[in-house]
Amino acid sequence: MSKRIGYGILATLVSMFVFLSIAAAHEINIGQRAKVGDGQELEPGTYRVEVERNQNSAEVLFFQGEELAATAHATLTMEAVKCNNTEVHSEEVDGTRVITKIWLRGWKESLVFKQGTPEAE
């Protein structure tokens, strides 16, 4: 009976650590106000990112706490290797910071955001 309890506790701890590592892999930090996708703005802060995949595209949901802050459509692009640390790529467009790509830790695909400007198409 004590072995069964021990295995149950071990399984619970392993599950908890797996869940925590997955949750941390989908967190990003935005240092300054930035637009994402087709124009929604994100204020500086920490966001939880959830990705709903649909073949080669995805809908990306940005949460601050429990509140949905923004959504954006992205294209899934294969990378040569898995990402070791989450990366947020951005550029300055017409005086505004624009997020162009997010590569989540542990993923071999990056999320590329289509911008509404002709240069990005």
For residue 68, CA distances in Å to 46, 79, 117 come to 13, 28, 25
Encode pLDDT of 16-57 as tens digits: 544 444 444 489 999 999 999 777 999 999 999 999 988 888
Q: What is the pLDDT of residues 63-79, one digit of tens each?
A: 999 999 999 999 999 99
The more confidently predicted of residues 84 and 15 is 84
Q: Would you tell me how many other CB atoms lie within 10 Å of the CB of residue 17?
A: 10
pLDDT level of residue 11 (50, 70, 90 thresholds): low
pLDDT bucket at 7, cuts 50 / 70 / 90: low
- In whole angstroms, give the CA distance from residue 17 to residue 6: 17
